[in-house]
Each structure stands twice: as C-alpha cells, then as structure tokens.
Amino acid sequence: SQQGEEDPQALSIQEGENATMNCSYKTSINNLQWYRQNSGRGLVHLILIRSNEREKHSGRLRVTLDTSKKSSSLLITASRAADTASYFCATDAGTGRRALTFGSGTRLQVQP
C-alpha cells in the first residue's frame, strides 16, 4: 500500500517560477524524506525532515511538515530546466528496518 500520496501528479512551470508539491501520509512517522528521480535514473536524496521539525531549508528547497494533518510540502524556488524530474516523498515509520514507504510521485516539467 502507498503511504504517501503526492499532489499534483504532474506540474509544468516556466523557468524562474516556484514549484510546490504536496505529500499526504497515513500513519505516524519518524521522519519524511524527499527524493528526486531523473528520467531513467535511480533516486537521489534531497532532504529529510524529522517528526519534531516543522520546516527545513536546503539551498533552493524548502520543506514543511505538519504532523497533525499528516502532510508535507516541498517548495523549489527559482526553478531551472535541470529541476525537471519526478519527486517522491517517502516516510520512515521508525521501525528497526528503516525501510521507506514511497508515494507515487509528482512529475515536474520546467520549461526553459
């Protein structure tokens, strides 16, 4: 079963605009992570936010977490064509296996 659900499923914007992706999940988490996947490639870790954190920044990325609503958002500011990729949220329930449960992803297209 999919823990996280991303919204929107697809997003097309112009270079320089901001892109916002949302993720909702169902069960309690230890942390939530965002990954990027370029077409035909493996996933690359972007940022991790813990359950006791509300907001985190990394370069042009800003992640928020609302555990009361079981939701997170990823904001990419001043987007570039190179940001074109699929973005996945993944939740870590904190069990010993440290396995992640992934959402179905948001496909972001940044037009030059």
Partner 1 sequence: NAGVTQTPKFRVLKTGQSMTLLCAQDMNHEYMYWYRQDPGMGLRLIHYSVGEGTTAKGEVPDGYNVSRLKKQNFLLGLESAAPSQTSVYFCASSPGVGRGQETQYFGPGTRLLVL
Q: Which residues bind partner 1 (CB under 8 A)?
A: 1-2, 4, 30-31, 33, 35, 40-45, 48, 88, 90, 92, 96-105
Please report where in the chains the tokens 């179905």 appear, as a residue.
104
Q: Nearest Cα to 15, choosing from 85, 106, 86, 77? A: 77
72-86 burial, b at 16+ Cβ within 10 Å, e below that, comes to bbbebeebeeebbbb
Q: Return the number of the residue (3 or 84) whose C-beta is nearest partner 1.
A: 3
Q: What is the closest distance, in whole angstroms, from the C-beta atom of residue 30 to partner 1 in the complex? A: 8
CB 58 within 8 A of CB 48: no
Q: What is the closest distance, in whole angstroms, from the C-beta atom of residue 64 to partner 1 in the complex? A: 19
Q: What is the closest distance, in whole angstroms, from the C-beta atom of residue 6 to partner 1 in the complex? A: 8
Q: What is the closest distance, in whole angstroms, from the C-beta atom of residue 90 to partner 1 in the complex? A: 8
Q: Return the number of the residue (47 or 75) whose C-beta is nearest partner 1.
A: 47
CB 88 within 8 A of CB 72: no
